[in-house]
């Protein structure tokens, strides 16, 4: 079990983490997605978010049509609801987005365990890096994000990694 398995860590976090906890709890979003083992991922759980950061909810489905029907049933009435299917990393992926109480929400579902999905694996590695490299490292990542650089490329740049930042970051954990 990791810190990210349960949303309670957000209750005592940053102001934005606390607000995210309130919105996710009051909306019952995780209960609605319970059958798909939802986990919050991205920059808000790591406290490296910027003003435009969203709430990324990773899910695992075994029946894509049932997952799509469930997402439509629970969230299609939400403001700016979108739903699309695409191939990401060679995996069939369902993406849904909407706005909920001031947060942009993205539901990301694939037919594989959440903890095997790259977004989750990146988050765990980034969490370890943030904890081991200190305040200056965190601030450097946040500064790059504010300058418009995506999260994994920002980490790779601060670490001095070359090549595809998404792959290099996964490799970095194995060989720090």
Output phi, psi for 86, to 5 deg. Answer: -155, 170
Q: Confidence band (pLDDT; 50, 70, 90) for 173? A: low
**14 pLDDT higher than 80:** yes
Q: SS3 for 51?
A: coil
Q: Confidence band (pLDDT; 50, 70, 90) for 3? A: confident
- The closest of 87, 83, 72, 1 to 33, measured between CA atoms, is 72
**86 pLDDT higher than 50:** yes
pLDDT tens digit sequence for 126-142:
999 999 999 999 999 99
Task: Give the pLDDT of residue 174.
Answer: 47
DSSP 163: S
Spell out the domain ranges in the chain.
Answer: 3-112, 121-174
**175 pLDDT higher than 50:** no
Q: Are strands 91-100 and 55-60 parallel, antiparallel or unpaired?
A: unpaired
Separation in Å, CA 69 to CA 32, 76, 96, 133, 169: 12, 10, 12, 43, 34
Output phi, psi for 98, to 5 deg. Answer: -170, 170
At residue 153's C-alpha, the angle toward residues 174 and 19, to 5°, is: 95
Q: SS3 for 117?
A: coil
Q: Confidence band (pLDDT; 50, 70, 90) for 2? A: low
Percent of the chain with pLDDT over 90: 91
Task: Give the pLDDT of residue 135.
Answer: 95
DSSP 111: S
Output phi, psi for 105, to 5 deg. Answer: -110, 135
Residue pair 95/119 in contact by the 8 Å Cβ criterion: no
CA-to-CA distance for 133 and 37, rounded, in angstroms? 30
Q: SS3 for 5?
A: helix
Q: Residue range 51-61: average pLDDT?
A: 96
**76 pLDDT higher than 70:** yes
Considering the domain 3-112, what is its CATH architecture? 2-Layer Sandwich (3.30)
């Amino acid at each position: 079990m990791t810190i990210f398995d349960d949303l309670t860590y957000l209750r005592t976090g940053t102001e934005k983490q606390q607000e995210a906890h309130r919105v996710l709890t009051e909306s019952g979003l995780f209960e609605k997605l319970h059958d798909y083992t939802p986990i919050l991922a991205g920059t808000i759980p790591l406290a490296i978010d910027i003003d435009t950061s969203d709430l990324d909810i990773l899910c695992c489905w075994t029946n894509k049509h049932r997952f799509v029907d469930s997402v439509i049933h629970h969230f299609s009435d939400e403001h700016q609801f979108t739903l699309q299917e695409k191939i990401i990393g060679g995996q069939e992926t369902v993406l849904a987005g909407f706005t909920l109480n001031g947060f942009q929400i993205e539901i990301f579902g694939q037919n594989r365990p959440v903890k095997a999905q790259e977004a989750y694996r990146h988050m765990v590695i980034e969490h370890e890096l943030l904890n081991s490299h200190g305040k200056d490292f965190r601030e450097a990542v946040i500064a790059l994000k504010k300058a418009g650089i995506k999260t994994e490329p920002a980490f790779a740049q601060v670490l001095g990694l070359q090549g595809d930042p998404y792959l290099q970051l996964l490799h970095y954990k194995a060989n720090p």
